[in-house]
Amino acid sequence: MAQTSILAPDVTVANSTDIVVGQNETVLIGLYVAAGTLPDNANFALFQKTPGAAFRLASLKAKAPLVIAGPGTYYVSRLAGGTLAGAGATQIAVGVYKEQG
């Protein structure tokens, strides 16, 4: 399976590119940093797009990648304050990858 970045490491609020999952297909999504250690309290959320408003399916945690089963179109949001390394610490640039076969 090939891993690709769908949201580059940063500290700002942002959405990933769309994750399009076909029928009978699965995709693994997870967090990464360019250097250093992934903060335990990373604050990211997985959303599914619908004909109406998108809805939140799950939280994406530092050490717990998610598997998405298709079909559907999804995206990940880096939420406010989602890249702090701890109380009073500096922010760490965190990104999102997908592994899709």
Domain topology for 2-86+96-100: Jelly Rolls (2.60.120)
List Cα–Cα distances, 49 to 53, 74, 90, in angstroms. Answer: 7, 6, 33
Q: Which residues contact 5 (CB under 8 A, 6 or more apart)?
A: 32, 95, 96, 97
Is the pTM for the entire model greater than 0.95? Answer: no
Rounded CA separation 43/77 (Å)? 9
Which residue type is seen at 2?
Answer: A
How confident is the model at residue 82, as a pLDDT? 61
Q: What is the pLDDT of residues 40-76, one digit of tens each?
A: 888 899 999 999 999 999 999 888 899 999 899 999 9
